[in-house]
Structure 1
Amino acid sequence: MTNLTTAFGTLYHPQKALLVYKADQPQNASYYIEAYDLDREGKPMNAHPLSLAEANSLLKALQTAERKKNGLLTLSGLMPKNVLHLKTDHNPYAIWHTPAQSVPLFFKQDLGIPSGLCTMPALVWKASKKGIAVYAIKDDAEITLDTPLYHAPFFNVYADGRVCMGNTQNSIPKDCSLEDFIRLWQEAFYNSYFSHLMQNHLPVKGNIVQLWKSLSGTGKPFPAKMLIANQYTLKHLIQ
């Protein structure tokens, strides 16, 4: 008989077997899981209740397999220098920063702010596949866990930093690389129309309409004195 073992690729050896028991009571849906270690011949031994450590190890293995299958936040090259933190297991997200720069912004017509090239402060972004939050920082020369965060000086942003994307479609594929993930979220943010304040949250000192009127198309640097501290630091974004 022909040995076909090598045709199947990676060879896996059995390590553990689980036996799941369910309570025989309709009103009690509790379960009990018994774990067995397997010897070199694959025979079960050492029966014992599944421990928390074993359950966590199994969870991590399943999450790793799922992440490899989906490919979300995988690297297509070197780690981008502006990435501050990356979580790739359960509920993956990325935190990155952008320097003070000029970017085209679009404003809803009834605000009376002309759309155009606007200067903005350095920003810190935190995004998952489901949503994005943005914060301002005054100095991005050396960002640490203790770097203080400020409210992002934009319309459409809640007090906690979450961005209301309105009708903007989430175009983040489940196998999105980290580089594309960052690019797509920033494009979605900057290509949306800034239209209103969220729940009466005032993100800057003074009049936000007058602020952006003075910046749109003028080339003036963003006045850092207008930023309002939100009492958080970068470490509060890392969960």
Structure 2
Amino acid sequence: MHRTHRKETRPMDQIQFTVKTTETEPLTLSRAVLIYEDHKRRAFATVHQCTVKGGKPVLLSGRAMTPAMSRSLSGKLNRKNIIGIGEFLPENVLMTDGDTLMWYEKPQVRHLAFKPSTIYPHRSLGLRGGPVPIPGTIFVAGPQNWSVFAVKGTERPTPSTPLYAAPFYNVDQNGGICQGNVTIPKSTAADRIGAWNDAFFRSYFPHANYSGVVDYEGDVTALWTDLLDGKFGKDFPEEVMCSYGLTLADLIRKRGEL
């Protein structure tokens, strides 16, 4: 059974705002998107042409927004032109969505540097550094988000891949990375993945952000001490990682919720 929704109009408060762009060509009002939702978060959108009469914008008749139209609009809204149509994506890129980029790093040996913490000395390793094995990681970088999660195995993650708490210092319980005074890249273009990795792995790790990061006697500080001492060789002990109870698909879905 199809229901016809009657559109109600009423006067709206005027909102003034400024749009800054690096382009010289002026922006003009062309279309408007109306989104309809119910309490179950189901949504329907219509796209309307717009015109200006007497100095005021006028909404014209519209049509239902299709998935293809939403993708086209998303590309036009991508101010930084992160991914162009038909552009090659590196194998480790898992998702792109506007200014947000998600990618995967395989398990590997990296040089990590630790320094003493005056805020949480009981969660600090002190001044040490060296090559250590790390698990597979998934990073998410965007305007309001810089986070990291861990995964098991050596294969590229799929939507059903379970996520685990990243066993690193400087990471909160939700996977959010504490930026501190680290300079992060201004772009989330795919070719800046190396710079994002360096911003995380080549910074100092002063302390754990919470207790119970890993299932290991002495918690994550004892784990990194043993890793630096070579107790586990070149393989990170994945069995100590704590599950988030989420899959990669869950993470992408939560990110896409309005």
Q: What's the TM-score once normalised by structure 2's chain length?
A: 0.64
User: Could you tell me which residue of structure 2 aligns to residue 184 of structure 1?
Assistant: 195
Match of 2:223 among 188, 211, 219: 211
Q: Which residue of 1 aligns with 2:22?
A: none
For the 8 Å contact 2:50–2:58, the answer to whether it is kept is no
SS in 2 for 1:210: helix
| Greater C-alpha Rg | 1
CA contact (8 A) 2:208 2:221 kept: no
Q: CA deviation at 1:138?
A: 1.1
Corresponding residue for 1:116? 130
The aligned counterpart of 2:112 is 105
1:202 counterpart = 2:212 = yes
From the superposition, tell whether residues 103 and 233 of structure 1 become closer, same or farther in structure 2 (CA, over 3 Å). same
SS in 2 for 1:109: coil
Tell me, what secondary structure is at the counterpart of 1:232?
A: strand
- Segments of 5+ residues of structure 2 without an aligned counterpart are 1-29, 32-48, 118-124
What residue identity is the alignment partner of 1:204? V
Structure 1 residue 156: Cα displacement: 0.9
RMSD: 3.3
Secondary structure at the counterpart of residue 128 of structure 2: coil
Match of 2:174 among 143, 153, 160: 160
How far, CA to CA, are the matches of 2:212 and 2:97 in structure 1?
31
Give the direction of change, closer, same or farther, for the CA distance of 1:64–1:20 in structure 2 (3 Å limit). farther
C-alpha distance in 2, partners of 1:138/1:225? 9
Secondary structure of 1:179 counterpart: helix
Change (3 A) 1:144 1:114: same
Greater RCO, 1 or 2 (C-alpha within 8 Å, sep 6+): 1
Q: Return the letter of the residue paired with 1:18.
A: T
Per the TM alignment, residue 73 of structure 1 is displaced from its structure 2 partner at its CA by 4.5
* 1:132-163, Cα deviation, whole Å (9 max, x unpaired): 11111112425221111110001111111111
Structure 1: 5+ residue stretches without partners: 1-13, 23-30, 36-47
**Deviation string, structure 1 residues 146-186 (Cα, Å, up to 9, x no partner):** 1111100011111111111111123324xx53121x11211
Residue of structure 2 in register with 1:226 after alignment? 240
1:34 CA drift (Å): 2.4
In 2: Cα distance, 1:71 partner to 1:87 partner: 11
After TM superposition, which residue ranges in structure 1, 4 or more long, deviate above 6 angstroms? 59-62
Cα 1:167–1:20 change in 2 (3 A) is: farther
* Paired-residue identity, %: 27
Write the distance in 2 (CA, Å) between the matches of 1:168 and 1:133: 14
Q: Does 1:18 align with 2:51?
A: yes
Distance 2:247 2:178 in 1: 22
Deviation at 1:63, TM superposition (A): 5.0
Q: Which residue of 1 aligns with 2:59?
A: 34
Q: 1:81 to 1:167 in 2, by over 3 A?
A: same
> What secondary structure sits across from 1:212 in the alignment?
helix
Cα distance change, pair 141–53 in 1 and its aligned pair in 2 (3 A): closer
Give the number of equivalent residue pairs. 195
Aligned residue type for 2:189: S
**Residues 217 and 233 of structure 1, relative CA distance in 2, 3 Å threshold:** same
SS class of match (1:81) = coil
The C-alpha deviation readout for 1:106-129, integer Å capped at 9, x for no partner, is 111352362111101111111114
